């Protein structure tokens, strides 16, 4: 971080400013990705399509957006590392996401292709900005505080995303009471509100968090694009040096597959077994607000037990959630499971982010968080695919739950093979050699 920024703002101010970006962009995850845009796509934008074609097209749209970001992420991160421009990349992708989120306002009946294109670009902006946002974490947080900073960011995200989702749902459910002529307009205005929310609450990060210093690497090409590809190629040639980091990445990829599957398929699974929309939306909101204090509590748990043991606790709870999900038949059980998800979702993901950051050399945070983001994106593709195939082959979505349990068990076992102390030692050696 620049000395000028450090002198102007206190450590706490810088940390809070960084966390506010979680508050800002989580509105996209809750309103756009989860609650409002998917049903709008099916009932309005793709209403002219026959049968279940709208659902299939939405699945393709989501997969395309994830795949594009996943493939590009490590190279984008490496370019940002080389050029010392993490904040500029973050600003570009955030602006892209904000603009195309607001443009969703103009999608009308039958405009499914327009809606799909706008969403893909907005998702690229959202996911791309997170690469560079996450890559700032090892630079701003003290080594003994990185778990607590990461969990605080998730807590901010749950609260910010939950508040705007509650506002948007109130707009959609009671438009006339709020002076909005129709439900359709309320839905469109909710898209605009996400863009404005994202833009306004991103400002503290850009004002208070400085651009991290870069290591001098004269052997690399001066062209940032060429240098980015060279850096990624060099990382793969020297992969044995980062063996602990990549073992963790494999474990994370697998257990995060299970987490992502629960997030993406919980509501459609609930619908299939007869749980009403009001219960589904209410439980989703509850998960957001339960996640606020328990994300923070996981930061304290990591200080007491250690980061890896705390992740094991979360994976054990997720395994229990999956077993209970197999047995679930009633709405109150869905609420109970949503509450359990709220206990561990933010903590597990925040501690994974901070443990990865502790083992990442500061000169390569953009590149390595690009790999991290690529892993999480592929997790969003493979988990639901395995769930769907098993459900289809056996004729019951309940059997798809078995695959989710396997992801948590296998991922947890692989995590036991990670020597995080060795990974941190390698990262600190590189930092010292680079003068960072």
**Domains, the chain, ordered by start:** 3-213+224-434 (1.20.1250.20)
Is the Cβ–Cβ distance between 71 and 8 less than 8 Å? no
Q: What is the torsion angle, in degrees rounded to the nearest 10, for the CA atoms of residue 165, residue 385, residue 243 and residue 152?
A: 10
SS3 367: helix
Confidence label for 188 from pLDDT (cuts 50, 70 and 90): very high
pLDDT tens for 3-20 read 455 567 899 999 999 999
pLDDT tens, residue by residue, 342-379: 999 999 999 999 999 999 998 888 888 888 887 777 76
User: What are the CA-CA distances from residue 138 to residues 96, 149, 155, 251, 295 (Å)?
Assistant: 25, 10, 18, 21, 19
Task: Pick the closest to residue 359 from 237, 205, 252, 210 (CA basis).
Answer: 252
Three-state secondary structure along 217-272?
CCCCCCCHHHHHHHHHHHHHHCHHHHHHHHHHHHHHHHHHHHHHHHHHHHHHHHHH
Tens digit of each residue's pLDDT (9 = 90 or more) over 18-77: 999 999 999 999 999 878 888 888 789 988 888 667 766 777 787 787 788 878 888 888
Q: Give the pLDDT mean for 176-188.
A: 94
Do 93 and 129 contact (CB within 8 A), yes or no?
yes
The 8-class DSSP code of residue 95 comes to H
Q: Average pLDDT, whole number, for the chain?
A: 86
Residue 220's pLDDT is 47
Is residue 78 very low, low, confident or very high in pLDDT (cuts 50, 70, 90)? Answer: confident
Smallest Cα–Cα separation from 349: which of 389, 396, 307, 286?
Answer: 307
Give me the mean pLDDT over the 246-270 stretch.
82
Share of the chain above pLDDT 70, in %: 89
146-150, 161-165, 207-211, 393-397: least confident range: 393-397
Element (H, E) at 82: helix 53-83
Decide if pLDDT at 224 tops 70.
no
Lowest mean pLDDT among 183-192, 240-249, 258-267, 425-434: 258-267
Give the pLDDT confidence of 284-315 residue by residue, as tens digits. Answer: 889 989 999 999 999 999 999 999 999 999 99
Q: What is the pLDDT of residue 262?
A: 80
Determine contact, residues 78/132, Cβ cutoff 8 Å: no
Judged by average pLDDT, the poorest of 38-52, 138-152, 349-363, 380-394 is 380-394
Which token pair is 116?
């799909």
Across 39-43, 218-222, 408-412, least confident range? 218-222
pLDDT at 91: 96
Q: Are 70 and 378 in contact (CB under 8 A)?
A: yes
Q: Above 60 in pLDDT, residue 206?
A: yes
pLDDT at 90 over 90: yes
With bands split at pLDDT 50, 70 and 90, how would you rate the model's confidence at 228? Answer: low
Q: Which of 96, 165, 103, 82 is CA-nearest to residue 130?
A: 96
Q: What is the pLDDT of residue 277?
A: 66
Q: Evaluate whether 170 touches 178 at the Cβ level (below 8 Å).
A: yes
């Amino acid at each position: 971080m620049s000395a000028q920024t450090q002198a102007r703002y206190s450590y706490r101010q810088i940390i809070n400013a960084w966390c506010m970006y979680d508050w800002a962009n989580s509105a996209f995850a809750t309103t756009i990705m989860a609650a409002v845009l998917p049903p709008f796509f099916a009932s309005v934008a793709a209403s002219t399509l026959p049968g279940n074609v709208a659902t299939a097209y939405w699945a393709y749209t989501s997969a395309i957006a994830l795949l594009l970001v996943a493939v590009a992420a490590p190279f984008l991160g490496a370019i940002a590392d080389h050029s010392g421009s993490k904040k500029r990349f973050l600003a570009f992708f955030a602006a892209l996401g904000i603009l195309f989120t607001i443009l969703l306002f103009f999608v009308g009946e039958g405009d499914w292709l327009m809606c799909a294109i706008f969403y893909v670009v907005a998702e690229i902006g959202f996911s791309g900005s997170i690469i560079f946002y996450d890559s700032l974490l090892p630079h701003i947080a003290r080594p003994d505080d990185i778990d607590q900073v990461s969990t605080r960011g998730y807590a901010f995200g749950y609260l910010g995303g939950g508040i705007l989702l509650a506002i948007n749902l109130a707009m959609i459910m009671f438009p006339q009471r709020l002076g909005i002529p129709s439900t359709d307009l309320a839905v469109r205005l909710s898209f605009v509100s996400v863009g404005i929310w994202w833009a306004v609450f991103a400002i503290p990060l850009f004002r208070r968090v400085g651009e991290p210093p870069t290591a001098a690497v004269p052997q690399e090409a001066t062209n940032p694009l060429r240098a980015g590809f060279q850096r990624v190629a060099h990382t793969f040639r020297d992969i044995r040096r980062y063996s602990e980091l990549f073992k963790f990445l494999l474990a994370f990829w697998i257990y995060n597959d299970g987490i992502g599957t629960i997030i993406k398929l919980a509501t459609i699974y609930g619908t299939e077994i007869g749980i009403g929309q009001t219960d589904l939306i209410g439980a989703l909101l509850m998960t957001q607000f339960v996640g606020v204090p328990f994300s923070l509590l996981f930061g304290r748990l990591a200080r007491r037990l250690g980061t890896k043991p705390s992740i094991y606790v979360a994976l054990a709870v997720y395994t229990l959630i999956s077993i209970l999900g197999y047995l679930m038949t009633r709405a109150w059980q869905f609420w109970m499971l949503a509450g359990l998800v709220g206990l561990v979702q933010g903590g597990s993901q925040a501690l994974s982010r901070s443990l990865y950051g502790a083992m990442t050399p500061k000169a390569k945070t953009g590149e390595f968080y690009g790999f991290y983001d690529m892993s999480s994106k592929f997790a969003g593709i493979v988990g639901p695919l395995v769930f769907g195939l098993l459900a289809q082959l056996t004729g019951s979505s309940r059997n798809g739950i078995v695959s989710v349990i396997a992801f948590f068990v296998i991922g947890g076992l692989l995590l036991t093979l990670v020597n995080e102390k060795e990974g941190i030692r390698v990262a600190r050696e590189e930092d010292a050699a680079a003068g960072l």
